[in-house]
Chains A and B, each alone.
Chain A
Amino acid sequence: MNGGDYGFYVWTAYGVSFAGLAAAIVLTVLGRMRAAKALEKLK
C-alpha cells in the first residue's frame, strides 16, 4: 500500500509510533540491565 494521497500521514503516523515504542523498549531493557549490573557489583 502506498497510501495514495494520504501516504505521508499514514506512514508518518506508523513511523512515529514505532520509533516511540522501540525507544521505550530499548531504554526500559537497558535500564533493567544496568540496575541488575549495579546491584551485582555491590554484592
Chain B
Amino acid sequence: MLRYANPTRFLQLSSALVPWLGAASAALFAIGLYLGFRVPPDYQQGETVRVMFIHVPAAWTAMMGYGLMAAASLVGLVWRHPLADTAARAAAPLGALFTALGLVTGSLWGRPMWGAWWVWDGRLTSFLLLEFLYLGYIALWNAIEDETRAARVCAILALVGAVNLPIIEFSVDWWTTLHQGESILRKGGPLISSVYLWPLFTMALAYTFLFFTLWLLRIETEILRRRARNALLAEGP
C-alpha cells in the first residue's frame, strides 16, 4: 500500500485503473437504469419509487466520500504525506456534489410523498450539515495560501466533521423523523422487496465506481499541477 504513496507509482496505478472503473460505472448505470425503469410502480409511492434509485446511491456515496476524506486527512495529519492531503482535497468537491444531488432528489421525492419540499428532521438536517462541512472544507482550503498549513487545518475540520457520519446514519433511530427508518442495511434483512433492491444496488455500485473514477482523476490532476508549479519555480524568474 505504501508503495503507491509515491506520486509516480500512484499515477501509474491510477492510469491503469481509471479506464476500467469508468467503463464499469457506465455499464452499471446502463443496467441500473434499465432495471429501474422496468420495475412496477410501488403500491404506496407509485412512480416516485424510481427516485429512490438515484437518491439513495447519491446519499450513500456522499457519506462514503466524507469517510474517505476524513481517513485521508488522518493519514496526512499523522504521517504528513502530501499525497494523502491531495486525496482528501480531491474528494471534497465530489462529496459536495453527491450530497447536493442527495438533497435535491430527496426533496423531489418528499414533495409528492410528504407534501413538503423540506422538513427540519434529524436525518435531513444532519445531511444538510454534511453539505456545509464539504463547502466549509473547500472554502477553508482556498482561504489559506500556505498549502501545508491549509492541509493541516482542513484535516482537523474533516476529522471533527466525521462525527456527523454516525449522526446521519442513526438519526432515524435516535429521533422521531419524517424520514423513514433504516429499511435496507439493517439487522434482519432489508424491508423492501428484492424487485426494488436490484436496481438500487446496481445504481449504488455505479455511483461508487463513478466516484472513484473522478476521485482518481482529480488526484492525478493535482499531482500534475504540483509538478508544473515546481517546474516553474525551478526555472526561476
C-alpha spacing A21/B111, complex, angstroms: 23
- Say whether, besides A32-B220, A38-B228, A20 and B50 are in contact (CB < 8 Å): no
What is the minimal beta-carbon distance from B75 to any residue of chain A, in angstroms?
Answer: 23
Evaluate contact between B221 and A35: CB separation under 8 angstroms. Answer: yes
A4 contact from B47, B54, B220, B232, Cβ within 8 A: B47
Which one of B93-101, B127-135, B146-154 is at the interface? B93-101
C-alpha spacing A43/B41, complex, angstroms: 58
What is the minimal beta-carbon distance from B104 to any residue of chain A, in angstroms?
Answer: 5
C-alpha spacing A5/B172, complex, angstroms: 29
- Say whether, besides A13-B109, A24-B97, A6 and B47 are in contact (CB < 8 Å): yes
- We find that the number of chain B residues with CB closer than 8 angstroms to chain A is 34
C-alpha spacing A24/B62, complex, angstroms: 14
- Say whether, besides A10-B48, A13-B104, A13-B109, A36 and B224 are in contact (CB < 8 Å): yes
Which one of B156-164, B185-193, B210-218 is at the interface? B210-218
Return chain B residues, CB-CB under 8 Å to A4: 41, 46-47
- We find that the number of chain A residues with CB closer than 8 angstroms to chain B is 27
What is the minimal beta-carbon distance from A39 to any residue of chain B, in angstroms?
Answer: 4
C-alpha spacing A5/B14, complex, angstroms: 45
In the complex, the 6 A-B pairs of residues with the closest C-beta atoms, listed nearest first: A35-B224, A13-B108, A42-B231, A39-B228, A13-B105, A35-B221
For this complex, 25 residue pairs linking A to B, each with C-beta atoms less than 8 Å apart, are A1-B37, A1-B50, A3-B47, A4-B41, A6-B47, A9-B51, A9-B109, A9-B112, A10-B48, A13-B105, A16-B101, A16-B104, A16-B105, A17-B54, A17-B101, A17-B105, A20-B97, A21-B97, A21-B210, A24-B94, A25-B214, A35-B224, A38-B224, A38-B225, A42-B231
